[in-house]
Structure 1
Amino acid sequence: MRWLIRLAGLVLLLVMIGAGYQSVGTAIDQARYPPPGDLINVGGHQLHLYCLGEGSPTVILEAAGLGWSLYWNRVQPDLAKVTRVCSYDRAGLGWSESGPSPRTGQRIARELHTLLARAGIAGPYVLVGHSLGGFIIRLYRQTHPADVAGMVLVDAGHERQFEQEEFRKFVAPGKIAFPIVGAVTSLGVTRLLMAFDLLPPLFAQQEDKMASDIRPMLRAGWAQTRYFATMADEAAALEETCLQVRRADPLGDLPLTILTATGPTWWPDMPSDLDQVKFRRMWLQWQTDLTKLSTNSRHVFADQSSHFINFDQPELVVGAVREMVERLPQKPAGNT
């Protein structure tokens, strides 16, 4: 019994040390890396909004499931030379506070609309959505079609993806891992591993694409206790998000550009039981299918990119958005 008590005491001590290490590290990061944009209350929690440039239509950047405003760092400054462009952090990511669950696409789209309205960022908008972000901007357009002048889908998801076994194999490890990693992150383990440069391949490759002054901010975002908890919440709601998108209307003749990643490596650490050839064929078919959402669509292939085109070939994202902005009618922004 004495040994059990001592062991329990040791475990409790380690938990307290880990939690303290995480708390102090988070406080240091917050002081060292203040939000570059504005924090806007959207009803119970604040979201971070970062805008650059001037002009209309305003470009709104919606990141992938793993990302936040920093994930557009290689895209946003160049687009700001053409028009106003805004990135933001979904609830629980980057500099934004956590929001209520479930984290479905419809809820996130409502929060985005509230954010833009309260920040005074008026339409029309060109919406740019990467991966999960593609679902969110399609749901945004469903409820506010008059605000949307055009749309760019960057290797976006497809609403019928859960019907395919290979996709379910792809997302299964994350759905299991995110809650576990979230728990150990709260005890400082993730922060400690990053201090020794022990990053998963996916994060390491993303970091390598960023400028040296941005990399510490990326790590600060990944090390937050709420980061992986938010990943778990968004992953848990993904099937419901797909069902919501399936009920959305087609886009009519809305200007639409599809960017598709066709580089040698689509994802650096695919599950071992997944047929990668079958998955890539399936993904390309879905991307082609997305072009049918509008009668005014074009398809661009990123042949040197992984799923993260915004890191690997950001010039393609900039070019696609710039081309759309320049061919849209130039007029003063209206009301949201």
Structure 2
Amino acid sequence: MTPPTPPTEAAVAPPLGRLYDVEGRRLMLYRSGDGGPAVVFLPGAALVGLDFLNIHERTAELTTSVVYDRAGTGWSERVELPRSAADVTDELHGLLRAAEVPGPYLLVGHSLGGAYARHYARRFPGDVAGLLLLDPFHEDMAARAPQQVREMLEKFKNPELPEPTEAQLEMGRGQLEQQFAKWPDAVRGPLVDLHLASWRTGWDEGRNLYDEVSDELRHAPDMPDVPVIVLTALGHDATQAQLWPEEVLREINDGKRALHAELAASVPDGEQRVLDDAGHAWLHEERPEIILQAIKDLLHKTRARLQH
């Protein structure tokens, strides 16, 4: 069985949304709803905009909601990965203008997307009304991690990843079809095919997290005074459970909880909410009501601020 072919340099049409030209590059964006502030979802590494389709559609009942794919991911045009946080945030800044999505925005960033959301807010403070950070990456995670984790991260820097076997691809397809069972038929098939074709993308996108991106985050301007909610996921996550022994994972989670608490405390109107029953990768599907409530709370706060 030949692995599916990923989108080429000339990005193909996505099952939802459209491609916008941003400085000569074609990028996917899908919007629903109306009103403001517009909510913009920033996916984590290995995820794409339409992975957030269900929570996006529920958010669109409250306000304008936007999902998109960074260049090099999803249905957006291919680029060499990894990229700098400056490149990613410049790109999003241009895309929202090309798509005529009015600001200021409530940015919802997951994992790596949470780091990019923070960087966007610090570089374009006038564009941001609030931040919801879903188990976000933090630049000090490696420094706070157990020695075993730091040693493994060093080994991950230049991995030789073998091509998946036919059996692995078939198993992966079954798992993905189950994961996306609630998605519309017209989206499910293309989304499964995309994830199978781009299984290496998340790895490539995160290769500079602990050096270049972390340095950018450390040296960025201060956070603007906007409402921030940080959701910390401490429940079972299948991928992390395979990577780390239980006692090491417990130390990782303890460090993450502390870093997220510091992140929430770094702004005047910051709050941490801990989820003991959701994992890192799919907390937006495991606990959608919690995510939606956080969005509602931030919309209430940001609208009140914008009226004054």
TM bucket (normalised to shorter chain) is 0.7 to 0.9
Q: Which amino acid in structure 1 is aligned with residue 260 of structure 2?
A: Q
Q: Matched residue of 1:248: which SS?
A: coil
TM superposition score normalised by structure 2 = 0.84
Partner residue in 1 for 2:58: 78
Distance 1:51 1:63 in 2: 15
With 255-264 and 96-105 compared, the bigger mean Cα shift is at 96-105
Shift, 1:328, TM fit: 2.1
Q: Cα distance 1:162–1:195, how it changes in 2: closer, same or farther (>3 A)?
A: closer
Q: Which amino acid in structure 1 is aligned with residue 138 of structure 2?
A: H
Shift, 1:121, TM fit: 1.1
State whether structure 2 residue 231 is matched by structure 1 residue 249: no
Structure number with greater Rg is 1
Partners of 2:44 and 2:109 within 8 A in 1: yes
What do you get for the CA RMSD once the two structures are aligned?
Answer: 3.0
Distance 1:320 1:40 in 2: 30
State whether structure 2 residue 268 is matched by structure 1 residue 287: no
Partners of 1:209 and 1:311 within 8 A in 2: no
Name whichever structure is richer in helix by fraction: 1
Shift, 1:61, TM fit: 0.5
Match of 1:319 among 293, 298, 302: 293
- Aligned pairs for 1:52-63 (under 5 A) are 52-63=32-43
Shift, 1:208, TM fit: 3.0
Hey, which bits of structure 1, 4+ residues long, moved more than 4 A?
A: 169-177
Q: Which amino acid in structure 2 is aligned with residue 323 of structure 1?
A: D
Shift, 1:278, TM fit: 1.3
Q: Which amino acid in structure 1 is aligned with residue 179 of structure 2?
A: D
State whether structure 2 residue 99 is matched by structure 1 residue 119: yes
Stretches of structure 2 that go unaligned for 5 or more consecutive residues are: none
**For each residue in 1:197-218, what CA deviation from the matched residue of structure 2 results, as whole angstroms up to 9, or x when unmatched?**
246xxx9489536416354333
Partners of 1:104 and 1:234 within 8 A in 2: no
Q: Cα distance 1:96–1:277, how it changes in 2: closer, same or farther (>3 A)?
A: same
State whether structure 2 residue 150 is matched by structure 1 residue 168: yes
Stretches of structure 1 that go unaligned for 5 or more consecutive residues are: 1-16
With 285-294 and 264-273 compared, the bigger mean Cα shift is at 264-273
With 65-74 and 203-212 compared, the bigger mean Cα shift is at 203-212
- Aligned pairs for 1:254-293 (under 5 A) are 254-265=226-237, 267-272=240-245, 275-293=248-266
Distance 2:156 2:194 in 1: 18
Q: Matched residue of 1:156: which SS?
A: coil
Q: Which amino acid in structure 2 is aligned with residue 297 of structure 1?
A: G
Partner residue in 2 for 1:12: none
Q: Cα distance 1:174–1:327, how it changes in 2: closer, same or farther (>3 A)?
A: same
Distance 1:283 1:40 in 2: 36
State whether structure 2 residue 161 is matched by structure 1 residue 180: yes
With 302-311 and 146-155 compared, the bigger mean Cα shift is at 302-311
Shift, 1:164, TM fit: 3.6
Partners of 2:169 and 2:196 within 8 A in 1: no
Shift, 1:316, TM fit: 1.1
Q: Matched residue of 1:311: which SS?
A: helix
Distance 2:268 2:300 in 1: 19
Q: Which amino acid in structure 2 is aligned with residue 306 of structure 1?
A: G
Sequence identity (%): 27
Q: Matched residue of 1:269: which SS?
A: helix
Q: Matched residue of 1:254: which SS?
A: coil
Shift, 1:122, TM fit: 1.6
Q: Matched residue of 2:268: which SS?
A: coil
State whether structure 2 residue 47 is matched by structure 1 residue 67: yes
Partner residue in 1 for 2:133: 153
TM superposition score normalised by structure 1 = 0.78
Distance 2:305 2:264 in 1: 27
Partner residue in 2 for 1:7: none
Partner residue in 1 for 2:212: 240
Shift, 1:219, TM fit: 1.9
Q: Which amino acid in structure 1 is aligned with residue 271 of structure 2?
A: R
Partners of 2:172 and 2:196 within 8 A in 1: no
Distance 1:67 1:293 in 2: 28
Aligned residues: 297
Q: Which amino acid in structure 2 is aligned with residue 251 of structure 1?
A: M
With 101-110 and 148-157 compared, the bigger mean Cα shift is at 101-110
Distance 1:210 1:174 in 2: 32
